[in-house]
Amino acid sequence: MGALATLPIFFDLRAKRAVMAGGTDGAAWKAELLAASGATVDLYCPAAEIGDEMRVVLELPYPDGAIRHHDRPWGTDIFPAAALAVADCETDAEAKAFFCAAQAAGVPVNVIDKPPFCQFRFGTIVNRSPVVVGISTDGAAPILGQAIRRRIETLLPATLAGWAKMAARVRAEVMDRLQPGPARRAFWERFSDDAFTRRVPDETAELEARAFVRELSARPQAGGRVTLVGAGPGDAELLTLKAVRALQAADVILFDDLVSDDILELARREAKRMLVGKRGGRESCRQEDINAMMTRFAHAGKHVVRLKSGDVSVFGRSGEEIADLRAQGIPVAIVPGITAASAMAGAFGVSLTHRDRAQQVRFVTAHSQKGDLPDEMDWRALADDHATTIFYMGGRMASRIAEQLIAHGLAGETPVAVAAALSRPDEIRAVGTLSQLGEIVGHVGIDRPILIGVGRVFADVEAAALLGYEPERLDPSRQTSRLQAKAV
pLDDT in tens, 189-229: 889 888 887 778 888 999 999 999 999 998 877 888 999 99
Rounded mean pLDDT of the chain?
A: 88
Q: How confident is the model at residue 283 (pLDDT cuts 50, 70, 90)?
A: low
Share of the chain above pLDDT 70, in %: 92
**pLDDT given at position 476:** 34
Q: How many CA atoms lie within 13 A of 276 on its CB side?
A: 21
- The average pLDDT across 312-318 equals 89
Please say if 256 is a catalytic residue: yes
Other C-beta atoms lying within 10 Å of the C-beta of residue 140 = 10
Torsion angle, alpha carbons of 326, 330, 335, 339, to 10: -50
- Please give the Cα distance from 246 to 228 (Å, whole number): 9
The two counts, helices (H) then strands (E), for the chain are 16, 18
The residue from 256, 311, 324, 384 that is catalytic is 256
User: What distances in angstroms separate CA 366 from CA 342, 377, 457, one per listed residue?
Assistant: 18, 9, 21
Helices 398-407 and 437-444, packing angle to 10 deg: 170
Residues 6 or more apart whose CB falls under 8 angstroms from that of 269 comprise none
Averaged pLDDT, 310-339: 92
pLDDT score of 471: 42
- Say whether pLDDT at 467 is over 70: no
Give the pLDDT band (50/70/90) at residue 479. Answer: very low
What's the pLDDT score for residue 483? 39
Residues 374-391 have pLDDT tens digits of 878 899 999 999 999 999
- Cα distance between residue 53 and residue 176, in whole Å: 48
Phi-psi region of 200 (alpha: psi -120 to 50; beta: other; left: phi over 0): beta
pLDDT, tens digit (0-9, with 9 covering 90-100), for 389-442: 999 988 888 999 999 999 999 999 999 999 998 888 888 899 999 999 999 998
Residues 235-248, mean pLDDT to the nearest whole number? 90
CB of 325 closer than 8 Å to CB of 352: no
Q: Which residues contact 345 (CB under 8 A, 6 or more apart)?
A: 351, 352
Instruction: Judge contact between 420 and 233, C-beta under 8 A.
Output: no
Mean pLDDT is lowest, of 257-266, 369-378, 478-487, for: 478-487
Residue 261 catalytic? no
What is the CB neighbour count within 10 angstroms for residue 444?
23
pLDDT tens for each residue of 344-361: 999 999 999 998 899 999
Please, what's the b/e burial string for 12-23 (b: 16 or more CB within 10 A of its CB; e: otherwise)?
ebeebbbbbbbb
Query: Are residues 342 and 419 in contact, defined by beta-carbon separation less than 8 angstroms?
Result: no
pLDDT tens digits for 2-47? 888 888 889 999 999 999 999 999 999 999 999 999 999 999 999 9
Quick one: pLDDT at residue 279?
Answer: 57
- pLDDT grade for 468, boundaries at 50, 70 and 90: very low
More confident residue, 485 or 262: 262
84 pLDDT more than 90: yes
Q: Is the pLDDT of residue 158 over 60?
A: yes
Q: Which range, of 71-75, 152-156, 243-247, 482-486, averages the lowest pLDDT? A: 482-486
- The CB-side HSE value for 169 (13 A sphere, CA atoms) comes to 15
